[in-house]
Structure 1
């Protein structure tokens, strides 16, 4: 049995490295040399890029521009196995920093590294302590608990269910502490971070909106604040029975596609990305349903949260996806994604001929049954 805790295709950090540098990150990890390489992704004020450098005698450096609170993912490939391996199975850390001169040091790994020179990082650590740790910490604890079981216990659902129950309780407790933290820190950056994380993919408007409205104007008008406001608005307006928000976005050839111009008795607005495993796993079913119902009025418009056009196009070709594809290549900051309050993929909205939402987040057999109901299965 596999470990029970897995990361989903949820909102993850990407990077900003501008030409006008106001931060420096110096790293020293033992005496590592080629082929060791460090990969870094930053999210800074809604914009992102990525960068990487070789490790020379244990040292590496990144320079760039930060608006003040930048979220980073840093991964170290010790053996030159590449970014994907480093990020998903290797030595990886997540942290915030600002307009600072930061030093990261460790004898052997990023996971054991210490930070100096970053006031923002220290604030982030204090925030995590107050809420009970990061999601990564909770995942790590649950996986460690599972690994501590004997092979026989790992096959016993009673033992596994205890670990799962404890994990869910820890997540619930963390969420509650985040809301308390947000209320107590209406002027602090991590107050908004706490609220954003606690709100999750399904925003409880009566609970979240008053806390948001009590926060400072500076926070509410920051990019993270604007994104939070969009999610609140989406939760109020985008639901079964409502008219889907209209949008325009370019297709693979750079030509604008309007939702209003899409025709069909049933239209699936599908949010996905080339890097999203669950999205790619669902594509064969979507392809089969499209083949079965296209002539009966079924259409799909797929909005990609990719930021790399080549990877986006490669995925479309590899998975043989014949429907309409659009993207602004802004990753998680895709304008349509933000309009619809998307925080995790895959996500979708099934519309009728009048662009009314008739169902949300249907996949697999649930989607198949709904299409048979709407379009007929003969």
Structure 2
């Protein structure tokens, strides 16, 4: 009897393990012209390929938790990507029409709702283009065109208005969905804080307690905490040697905090210029603190070793980027005064220098950094 019970337990365990996967079954309509491959990746370590046979393909992905994947079809010009999210094991059905470029999902709720939202954005942009063509004769004027600036301003306004409307609808119609939490966490921080709080208020407890729901809440708190003039709350991270580095240790000095990652090319391309800034002003009291948002410590350690930056480094293991500074893109720089208050923040870093923070530092210290070093001249 004991042996039978043990066998049943083992069979049950193997069934549970076997079930932990996401199966993507695809149907493709149209002429492939010999381009029969489907590629899928998480933009990191996971990659897989399927072959389309008789208009069908199948992919099986091990389920290790909520995930974002990008699927590319070889038959699409430029390998047009299709984004997929899921938060549980199960089945996803994808229908792709080569002629119309239509992509639809059935099956698991999260990818279905996420794809529906993407299609709504696509339709919004088509409507936006039509409105611009009606007003300016074109939706995409050439630089130098008399309507170039006005058209770009209208495009930006129409896109922001349209997206805010879509986000409100998503939160109102699907307040309980993981897809909603994912969409709001990714798109919400681009818009006014008042709207973010309105969207978060619509989410149910279930959606708020997902990883993405918590991320969205952290970003809202970060937006409040990182307003110009706000005082930075002390935090402590571990440096490359495993020793603690606290923000409070820079008290009384100007501090430039830089958020970056090993995979961020613009971040790393900016480091030579940041070295020049550091060398120009460190002797006058400027401190720098680079904080990596890498998910894997090994990636951070490897990149930091390659860069060999002379100022303190830290790995963000405490969601400081989101919760204290509302960082949604990198490189992202914050200049903080001797009183611990945020003076300036700057998204992006030009390797040639001349950014707002650099100009402010030149004003503070009364001298110029000098021209960027041309690597080709070395």
TM-score, normalization by structure 2: 0.70
Matched, 1:371 2:367: no
Deviation at 1:295, TM superposition (A): 1.1
Q: 1:92-142, CA deviations, whole angstroms, 9 ceiling, x for partnerless residues?
A: 211334532224465879x6655443443333344445x54389x67x979
Tell me which structure has the larger Cα radius of gyration.
2
Partner of 2:374: none
Native 8 Å contact 2:121 2:163 kept in 1:
no
Distance 1:56 1:219, change over 3 A: closer
Q: For 1:66 and 1:141, how far apart are their aligned partners in 2?
A: 40
Deviation at 1:309, TM superposition (A): 5.1
Partner of 1:101: 91
Unaligned runs of 5+ in 2: 1-16, 369-378
Distance 1:56 1:337, change over 3 A: same
Unaligned runs of 5+ in 1: 1-17, 43-48, 79-85
**Within-5 A mapping of 1:33-52:** 38-41=39-42, 50-52=45-47
Partner of 1:9: none
Partner of 1:23: 22
Distance 1:167 1:62, change over 3 A: farther
Native 8 Å contact 1:249 1:257 kept in 2:
yes
Q: For 1:252 and 1:108, how far apart are their aligned partners in 2?
A: 50
Deviation at 1:291, TM superposition (A): 0.7
Number of matched residues?
333
1:350 to 321, 328, 335: 335
Partner of 1:82: none
Distance 1:359 1:257, change over 3 A: same
Distance 1:169 1:352, change over 3 A: closer
Deviation at 1:304, TM superposition (A): 1.5
Deviation at 1:301, TM superposition (A): 0.9
Higher relative contact order (CA 8 A, sep 6+): 1
Partner of 1:226: 214
Matched, 1:335 2:322: no
Native 8 Å contact 2:189 2:219 kept in 1:
no
Native 8 Å contact 2:176 2:206 kept in 1:
no
Matched, 1:63 2:47: no
TM-score, normalization by structure 1: 0.70
Deviation at 1:271, TM superposition (A): 0.8
Native 8 Å contact 1:266 1:353 kept in 2:
yes
Partner of 2:48: 53
Deviation at 1:272, TM superposition (A): 1.6
Native 8 Å contact 1:182 1:211 kept in 2:
no
RMSD: 4.2
Partner of 2:165: 177
Native 8 Å contact 1:27 1:104 kept in 2:
yes
**Within-5 A mapping of 1:232-311:** 232-262=220-250, 265-308=253-296
Deviation at 1:179, TM superposition (A): 4.2
Matched, 1:200 2:189: yes
